[in-house]
Amino acid sequence: MLLDKSDDPSPIKLFISSPGGSIDAGMAIIDAMESMEREVDTYCVGLSASMASAIFSCGRKRYIYPSAKLMIHDPLIHGTGGNALQLKAISDSLLEYREIIGKLLAKNTGKTLEEIYELTKQDTYFNAAECVRNHFADEIVGKEHTT
| CATH assignment of the domain containing 34 | 3.90.226.10
Nearest to 131 by CA among 117, 141, 122: 141
**DSSP H or E segment with residue 38:** none
Query: How many domains, in total, are found in the chain?
Result: 1
Q: How far apart are CA 31 and CA 26, in angstroms?
A: 9
Share of the chain above pLDDT 90, in %: 78
Domain assignment present for 99? yes
Provide the residue range defining the domain that includes 114. Answer: 3-140
Average per-residue pLDDT for the chain: 92
Instruction: Assess whether 91 carries a catalytic annotation.
Output: no
Domain assignment present for 147? no
Would you call 26 helix, strand, or coil by DSSP?
Answer: helix
* Residue 146, pLDDT score: 62
Alpha helices in 84-135 (DSSP H): 84-109, 113-120, 128-133
* Residue 6, pLDDT score: 66
* Residue 147, pLDDT score: 56
Q: What would the pLDDT profile of 57-71 be if each residue is shown by its tens digit?
A: 999 999 999 999 999
Instruction: Assess whether 53 carries a catalytic annotation.
Output: no
Q: What would the pLDDT profile of 68-127 be if each residue is shown by its tens digit?
A: 999 999 998 776 778 899 889 888 999 999 999 999 999 999 999 999 999 999 999 999
Catalytic residue, candidates 6, 10, 22, 50: 50
Residue 129, pLDDT above cutoff 70: yes
Share of the chain above pLDDT 70, in %: 93
Count the helices and strands in the chain (H runs, E runs).
Answer: 5, 6
Domain assignment present for 145? no
Arithmetic mean of pLDDT, 120-139: 97
Listed in sequence order, the residues at least 6 apart from 29 whose beta carbon sits closer than 8 Å to its beta carbon are 55
Domain assignment present for 87? yes
Looking from the CA of 25 toward its CB, the CA atoms found within 13 Å total 7
The angle at the Cα of 145, spanning 45 to 63, to the nearest 5 degrees, equals: 30
Nearest to 23 by CA among 107, 79, 104: 104
Catalytic residue, candidates 10, 17, 35, 73: 73
